[in-house]
Chain A
Amino acid sequence: MAKREYSYYPGCSSQKKASADNFMRSANAMCDALDITLKEIDDWNCCGASIGYAGGGEIPRLSLSARNIALSKQQHGDADIIAPCAACWIATKEAEERVEHNPRVREGINAALAEIGLKVEPAQMPKTRHMVEMLVEDIGLDTIANGKKKGLEGLTIAGYVGCQTNRPFGIAGESFENPKYLDNMVEAVGAKAVDRYAKKVACCSGALMFSEPEKGQALVRDIIEAAYDGGADMIVTPCQLCQMNVESYQTDINKRFGTKFNIPVVYYTQLIAVAYGKSAEEAGLDGQIIKATKLEALAGK
């Protein structure tokens, strides 16, 4: 496989011992298997996430992502910035869009960046892409399918795309209402994708899970119920916040709604890592609160 290099930053939740620690371990294992080198942007900062608007206005929020863009340019030239996190991806792309199209915002951002000796210029910024785009567009799902060491036979998986990996930008060529890439990825590693998973692009409530738990948990209840209805053994998602929201409140949801949920929620990177022969630990499966037992068994084989 051809060697590839990208600029990247993990994002807050995927740092060591943060809530998506196991995501990053599996992503590293996957990149190792696919001969991808991710060069971290030194001293990257938080993108402001979506909820940052409550504290920071437009220019402060966008300045955060502009700083990451400027640092990436300084350190890694025109290399694409790979965002493994949907919120980072969106925030960085939005900053690029406003810098390109809104002169007032651009001037404001650059006045702020000047304080630290940085600058962003239209048509000069590296492109920011989601890690999924890197896999689908640069590597190709066929290549991933052909290179795998083992098929994840016997697993039925609900591909939960969620909101922000899908909207507003999405993956080129996919529809907003029924994107197929995650199902295709599941099939590429030899598992069975739940057909017509009803809550594929539903919202997990995002950051409102923290501020409005009852309302958020009601949304997640429906997402899990639909996965069971589709006969899923587990749910797979590309999004760190979706993973956290759908996996870790199942006990609370069971209490609140009298359900008996106990379904593992994994990342696509974990499926690929296991299919490429990585151990359960390398694939970050020790980070599941609800153990993905069947996937672990395959990893041990």
Chain B
Amino acid sequence: MTQMNQAMIEKYRSSFLKEVETNVEEGHWVKMCMQCGVCSGSCPLGPHWEHPPQEIFMMIRANKRDEVLKSSSMWFCTSCYNCIARCPRGLPITHIMHGLASYSKKLGLAPKSQPTESFGQIFWNSIASNGRVNELKIGLALQFKDGFGQGVKNAMAQKDLGMAMMKTKRMNPMEFFGGHTCKDKSGIARMLKKAQEVEDQHIANYGAGK
């Protein structure tokens, strides 16, 4: 268990809702949910959610901290924005789901080897190091994330698609050696580092002052 997680448990012992309101993106909206269930019926991958959004909101109020933060549920959000378009209370559900997922990861509670979590991290790393996404390297990193043997198998399974993408000029094998990047990569790295510090500081200060 991470130190930050321990600190948060102690600070917000009696109220997971407070913790979510302070530390989770758009978390201050959670108390507005009236449990109508419309969001839960809107997720394209609904059957795969252990706890659909409405249930997550109820569990937050019922102090079920571990059950929420360790759940794989939020990682099945496809960012389709169906829920936001339909919620009678105007909750930014998509962002809260992303926020919960990201927060659970920060605390070291996200489920291990969750495929969307892994893919999202690979994607983010590509942005953070180049300023832009390198589709080829992301594809390869994804295929090879479970080791070399599995990677070769995965790559072979997708080789027809890869060839088709190259033939139609929609993928460039040379991307492997550099590829699309921003000029000010170091500036972007500094910016993201600072952004991360500001965000961590806010959590460490228990949202004090704001």
Contact = CB atoms under 8 A, between A and B. Distances in A.
B80 A167 contact: yes
Interface residues of A, number: 68
Contact of A215 (B45, B99, B170, B195): B45
Interface in B70-122: 75-76, 78-82, 84-86, 94-95, 98-99, 101-103, 105-106, 115-121
A45 B119 contact: no
B34 interface: no
A296 to B, nearest CB: 13
A203 interface: yes
Given A45-B131, A115-B191, A212-B115, A286 B102 contact: no
**Which range contains the number of B residues in contact with the other chain?**
35 or more
Given A51-B119, A52-B124, A205-B45, A57 B161 contact: no
Given A163-B82, A211-B115, A55 B125 contact: yes
A21 B40 CA distance: 36
A184 interface: no
Contacts of A147: none
B55 interface: no
Contacts, number: 222
B165 interface: yes
B8 interface: no
Given A12-B135, A45-B182, A52-B127, A163 B194 contact: no
Tell me whether chain B's interface is mostly helix, strand or loop, or mixed.
Answer: helix
A109 interface: yes
B127 A46 contact: yes
Interface stretch (B10-18, B59-67, B196-204): B196-204
Contacts of A257: none
Interface of B: 25, 44-45, 48, 75-76, 78-82, 84-86, 94-95, 98-99, 101-103, 105-106, 115-121, 123-125, 127-128, 131-133, 135, 142, 160-161, 164-165, 168-172, 175, 180, 182-184, 187-188, 190-196, 198-199, 202, 210
Given A18-B135, A52-B120, A287-B169, 16 more contacts: A12-B135, A15-B180, A19-B135, A20-B170, A51-B79, A51-B119, A51-B120, A55-B123, A55-B127, A55-B128, A113-B191, A115-B191, A176-B86, A205-B44, A212-B76, A251-B161
Interface of A: 12-13, 15-22, 43-46, 48-60, 63-64, 67, 90, 94, 103-104, 107-109, 111-116, 163-164, 166-168, 176, 202-203, 205-208, 210-212, 215, 219, 248-249, 251-252, 286-289
